Amino acid sequence: MDILIRKATTHDAEYISLLGRITFDETFGHLFEDRKDLLSYFENTFSVPKITSSLSKKENVFWIAFANQLPVGYAKLKIDSPLDDFPNHKTSQLQKIYVLKDFLALKIGAKLQEELFKEVRKINSEVLWLAILYTNLRAINFYQKYGFKKSSKYYHSIGKENFEFDVMIKEF
Ligand SMILES: CC(C)(COP(=O)(O)OP(=O)(O)OC[C@H]1O[C@@H](n2cnc3c(N)ncnc32)[C@H](O)[C@@H]1OP(=O)(O)O)[C@@H](O)C(=O)NCCC(=O)NCCS
């Protein structure tokens, strides 16, 4: 397989929107009792205008991954995203890193992560943080392998579902 990773632009909005919906569904869809909650979340979060606007903000950096020219994954970094525990540091947030289920074996997650880390070093961010569903063991293992450590808890609701997240941090 020919793997290519590049930064995404607003021209990739349709790719990212569809990848966002499908990868979220593959990862968390089973946690929603009412499918309507999930669909309304998708409408709000992954609509093409919403993603186009997100791609155009200077504080966001997106990457898109292709396998044999097919878009199969994406990642998003939010620059200067504050974290209460590090008020005096330059902190950025790894907001998304998602690969389609059928392509997980290609280890594209690691390649996306490398691109993210390069950017974090380039912008001299001192701390990279993320919030991860505490039951998402595959991703938690992945982040631990790359030096992230659990710090605090964070709670967030989508529709009628309440979720518990672990905040994980990596210092640079
Ligand atoms: C998170 C993600 C990008 C990581 O990429 P990846 O290529 O799967 O990562 P790796 O396979 O290198 O690392 C995952 C680790 O978890 C382990 N693992 C695999 N499946 C697992 C499972 N079902 N439960 C627990 N651990 C698992 C792997 O063995 C690996 O550890 P190892 O390298 O010590 O063997 C990718 O899994 C993904 O896109 N997942 C779906 C979306 C998601 O959860 N995104 C994060 C949301 S915050």
Give the Å distance between the CA of 143 and the centre of ligand 1.
8
pLDDT band at 42; cut points 50, 70, 90: very high
Coil, strand or helix: which one is 142? helix
The closest residue, in CA terms, to atom 21 on ligand 1 is 138
Tally Cβ neighbours within 10 Å of residue 69: 8
Assess whether the C-beta atom of 153 lies below 6 angstroms from ligand 1.
no
| Radius of gyration for the chain, computed over Cα atoms and rounded to the nearest angstrom | 16
Give the Å distance between the CA of 120 and the centre of ligand 1.
21
Assess whether the C-beta atom of 31 lies below 6 angstroms from ligand 1.
no
Tally Cβ neighbours within 10 Å of residue 140: 17
Residue 123 confidence (pLDDT): 96
What would the pLDDT profile of 49-71 be if each residue is shown by its tens digit? Answer: 999 999 999 999 999 999 999 99
Compute the distance between CA of residue 81 and CA of residue 11 in angstroms, rounded to an integer: 25
Assess whether the C-beta atom of 86 lies below 6 angstroms from ligand 1.
no
Domain spans, the chain: 3-125
> Which residues are 127's β-sheet partners?
91, 171
Give the Å distance between the CA of 1 and the centre of ligand 1.
20
Give the Å distance between the CA of 88 and the centre of ligand 1.
32
- The pairing of beta strand 70-78 with beta strand 60-67: antiparallel
Mean pLDDT of 80-103: 95
pLDDT band at 145; cut points 50, 70, 90: very high
pLDDT band at 144; cut points 50, 70, 90: very high
Residue 117 confidence (pLDDT): 98
C-alpha count within 13 angstroms, C-beta hemisphere, residue 55 = 23
For 3-125, CATH number out of 3.40.630.30, 1.10.10.60, 3.20.20.70, 3.40.50.2300 equals 3.40.630.30
Residues 6+ away with beta carbon under 8 Å from 31: 161, 163
The angle subtended at Cα 139 by Cα 119 and Cα 168, nearest 5°, is: 65
Compute the distance between CA of residue 147 and CA of residue 136 in angstroms, rounded to an integer: 17
The closest residue, in CA terms, to atom 25 on ligand 1 is 138
